[in-house]
């Protein structure tokens, strides 16, 4: 049973209706690692609906969180905004309503492309609209009780000045530098590190994270929530949240789905604050959305994912094979029905470059390489071809990029040894028009052996004669795509 189906089965034993929460702070580029939370939620939502239940994903954008520090990707002027809510900081590109919207907007666009339907709640608007007001009053009235829970669960003593509520300083605009002195039914008296003392109502501030989280479970009626392993660790915010939810707010905590990090190969866990990211918006521009979904859905949440941009060709082909076999991960990755085209993505990357992305030439090469594309499948082929081109431009290693040189360019650029010339002439003389990739590949080895040269040198000679460099795509498929007659004519003229 697929992991999403197992979770759905557990949830449907509790109720046939669920609200699944996700929450990400838009303090930097929202990346593939963040997307794991959204896609975990979406896979479970779909699994619930497949079983006749109802489910809704609620995305809480933590736009009222303070800017923790000036991140490496921010200009020096942003030093003055540290401590202020993200929703109240100017947009870095000056094209959005705020700093928070600068990073949030492209992420929401990505969710739409990925077919993830969410109810978006911006934390700053929730607080300003008074949605948290009752929870804030309950938290302040139970300040000591909450402090005791935090101390018992985490083993760390709360500061005597600690308060569950953080008002925004009217003077400096910071939210993490104020201390609550006392409170009444309408608001709090506070003093700020900047020296200002004032009064704030309950709509001009927010609860600290460990209190905000259980408060929102009740406010938004959340029944299930994916969470990173840091939140689920012993003494973490879920452990404190469970007790605060039950003992202070009188609500049940949601069913937890704990997920591991996505690691960028050779770098480590993705972290927006450090710039170690592959932005989601970038991913959905260069990969089919179903492939982006498959990267995450195919792996159980509790297992970490090693993401290697260079291996995306293999992953896309793996997805298409899984889909053909009726694999559940592939099914949950689809956002719409597609007319499957049985042309490997890797092959399209090669064919596209040979054809210079001309559709008629692409179709001609596909026919030569024994791939048939029906009229119904043509839109899907065009879509895949567009993604192949974008992937090549953005993520492909240099060794996968090539250009077919003219004979004159090759002769001006490349020098061939007598041994290489002899191999090329002998190989060309044995070429037949209808040879398949495997036969062409085998012929290279056979000819090299007969002439007593190393196969590696033989392959290099072919690449030099066509591309002007020592490497290229897999030789058999490459020559089949070019056409054995074209290859023969080229090699005989070297």
pLDDT band of residue 29 (cuts 50, 70, 90) is confident
Give mean pLDDT, residues 7-14: 98
At 213-250, the pLDDT tens digits run 999 999 999 999 999 999 999 999 999 999 999 999 99
pLDDT at 307 over 90: no
Contact between 269 and 230 under an 8 Å Cβ cutoff? The reply is no
pLDDT band of residue 132 (cuts 50, 70, 90) is very high
pLDDT at 264 over 90: no
Non-local CB neighbours of 165 within 8 Å, separated by 6+ positions: 136, 139, 140, 180, 183, 188, 202, 205, 206, 207, 208
What DSSP element (H or E) covers 205? strand 205-207
**Could you write out the DSSP letters of every residue in 55-103?**
EEEEEEE-TTSBP-S--TTS-GGGGGGTTSBGGGSPPTTS-SSSHHHHH
pLDDT at 266 over 60: no
First-last CA distance in the chain: 59
Contact between 314 and 67 under an 8 Å Cβ cutoff? The reply is no
pLDDT band of residue 32 (cuts 50, 70, 90) is confident
Q: What is the pLDDT of residue 271?
A: 55
CATH code for the structural domain at 1-154+208-337: 3.40.50.620
Give mean pLDDT, residues 400-420: 94
The model's pTM is: 0.87
Rounded distance, CA 317 to CA 327, Å? 14
Domain 407-492 in CATH 1.10.10.350? The answer is yes
Q: What is the pLDDT of residue 18?
A: 98
pLDDT at 273 over 50: no
**Worst-scoring range by mean pLDDT, 87-91, 336-340, 364-368, 474-478?**
336-340
Cβ contacts of 319-323, under 8 Å, gap ≥ 24: 319/290, 319/291, 319/294, 320/344, 320/345, 322/294, 322/298
pLDDT band of residue 399 (cuts 50, 70, 90) is confident
Q: What is the pLDDT of residue 269?
A: 57
pLDDT band of residue 309 (cuts 50, 70, 90) is confident
Where residue 241 falls (left for φ over 0; alpha for ψ -120 to 50; beta otherwise) is alpha
Q: What is the pLDDT of residue 175?
A: 96
pLDDT band of residue 396 (cuts 50, 70, 90) is confident
| Nearest in space to 24 (alpha carbons), one of 57, 52, 62, 51 | 62
**Worst-scoring range by mean pLDDT, 23-37, 208-222, 357-371, 408-422?**
23-37
Helix axes 237-244, 143-154, angle to 10 degrees: 140
How buried is 70 (Cβ within 10 angstroms: 0-12 exposed, 13-18 middle, 19+ buried)?
Answer: middle
Rounded distance, CA 378 to CA 376, Å? 6
SS3 content of the chain, % helix, strand, coil (to 5): 50, 15, 35
Contact between 483 and 431 under an 8 Å Cβ cutoff? The reply is no
Contact between 170 and 196 under an 8 Å Cβ cutoff? The reply is yes
Q: What is the pLDDT of residue 330?
A: 95
Give mean pLDDT, residues 363-374: 93
Within 10 Å of residue 102's Cβ, how many Cβ atoms? Answer: 21
Contact between 62 and 206 under an 8 Å Cβ cutoff? The reply is no
Non-local CB neighbours of 349 within 8 Å, separated by 6+ positions: 313, 388, 391, 392, 396, 400
Which sequence spans correspond to the domains of the chain?
Answer: 1-154+208-337, 155-207, 345-400, 407-492
Contact between 272 and 24 under an 8 Å Cβ cutoff? The reply is no
Rounded distance, CA 176 to CA 124, Å? 15
Average pLDDT, the chain: 93
| Nearest in space to 179 (alpha carbons), one of 105, 194, 265 | 194
How buried is 1 (Cβ within 10 angstroms: 0-12 exposed, 13-18 middle, 19+ buried)?
Answer: exposed
At 41-57, the pLDDT tens digits run 999 999 999 999 999 99
Query: What backbone phi and psi angles, to 5 degrees, belong to 223?
Result: -115, -15
pLDDT band of residue 294 (cuts 50, 70, 90) is very high
CA distances from 415 to 124, 418, 470 (A): 66, 10, 12
Give mean pLDDT, residues 282-287: 87
pLDDT band of residue 444 (cuts 50, 70, 90) is very high
> Strand, coil or helix: what is 346?
helix
At 450-477, the pLDDT tens digits run 999 999 999 999 999 999 999 999 999 9
**Worst-scoring range by mean pLDDT, 112-121, 138-147, 393-402, 410-419?**
393-402
Rounded distance, CA 28 to CA 224, Å? 26
> Strand, coil or helix: what is 28?
coil
CA atoms within 13 A on the CB side of 15: 12
Q: What is the pLDDT of residue 451?
A: 95
Give mean pLDDT, residues 117-134: 98
Give mean pLDDT, residues 335-361: 89
Rounded distance, CA 87 to CA 98, Å? 6
CA 168 from chain centre, in angstroms, equals 33
CA atoms within 13 A on the CB side of 162: 19
Q: What is the pLDDT of residue 484?
A: 93
């Amino acid at each position: 049973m697929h992991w999403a189906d197992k979770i759905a089965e557990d949830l449907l034993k509790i109720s046939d209706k669920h609200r699944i929460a996700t929450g990400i702070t838009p303090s930097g580029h929202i990346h593939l690692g963040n997307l794991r939370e959204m896609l975990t939620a979406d896979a479970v939502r779909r699994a619930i609906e497949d079983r006749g239940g109802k489910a809704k994903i609620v995305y809480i954008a933590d736009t009222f969180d303070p800017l923790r520090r000036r991140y490496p990707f921010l200009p020096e002027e942003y030093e003055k905004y540290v401590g202020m809510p993200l929703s109240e900081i100017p947009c870095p590109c000056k094209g959005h309503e705020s700093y928070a919207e600068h990073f949030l907007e492209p992420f929401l666009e990505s969710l739409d492309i990925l077919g993830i339907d969410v109810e978006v709640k911006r934390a700053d608007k929730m607080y300003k609209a008074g949605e948290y007001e009752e929870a804030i009053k309950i938290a302040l009235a139970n300040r000591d009780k909450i402090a005791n829970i935090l101390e018992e669960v985490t083993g760390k003593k709360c500061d005597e000045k600690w308060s569950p509520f953080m008002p925004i300083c009217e003077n400096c605009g910071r939210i993490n530098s104020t201390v609550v002195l006392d409170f009444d039914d309408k608001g709090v008296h506070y003093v700020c590190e900047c020296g200002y003392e004032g009064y704030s109502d309950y709509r001009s501030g927010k609860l600290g994270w460990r209190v905000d989280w259980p408060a929102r479970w009740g406010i938004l009626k959340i029944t299930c929530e994916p969470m990173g392993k840091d939140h689920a660790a012993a003494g973490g915010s879920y452990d404190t949240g469970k007790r605060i939810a039950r003992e202070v707010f009188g609500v049940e905590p949601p069913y937890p789905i704990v997920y591991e990090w996505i690691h960028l190969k050779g770098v480590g866990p993705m972290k927006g604050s450090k710039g170690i990211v592959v932005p989601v918006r970038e991913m959905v521009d260069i990969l089919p959305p179903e492939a982006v979904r498959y990267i995450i859905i195919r792996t159980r949440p509790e297992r970490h994912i090693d993401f290697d941009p260079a291996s995306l060709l293999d992953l896309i082909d793996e997805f298409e094979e899984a889909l053909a076999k009726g694999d559940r991960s592939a099914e949950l990755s689809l956002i719409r029905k597609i007319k499957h085209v049985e042309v490997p993505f890797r092959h399209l990357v090669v064919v596209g470059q040979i054809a210079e992305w001309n559709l008629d030439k692409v179709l001609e090469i596909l026919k030569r390489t024994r791939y048939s594309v029906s009229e119904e499948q043509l839109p899907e082929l065009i879509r895949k071809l567009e993604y192949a081109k974008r992937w090549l431009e953005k993520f492909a290693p240099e060794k996968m990029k090539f250009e077919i040189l003219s004979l004159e360019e090759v002769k001006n650029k490349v020098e061939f040894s007598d041994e290489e010339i002899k191999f090329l002439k002998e190989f060309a003389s044995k070429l037949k028009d209808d040879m398949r990739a495997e036969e062409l590949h085998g012929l290279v080895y056979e000819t090299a052996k007969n002439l007593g040269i190393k196969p590696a040198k033989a392959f290099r000679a072919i690449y030099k004669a066509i591309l002007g460099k020592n490497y290229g795509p897999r030789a058999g498929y490459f020559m089949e795509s070019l056409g054995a007659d074209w290859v023969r004519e080229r090699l005989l003229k070297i």
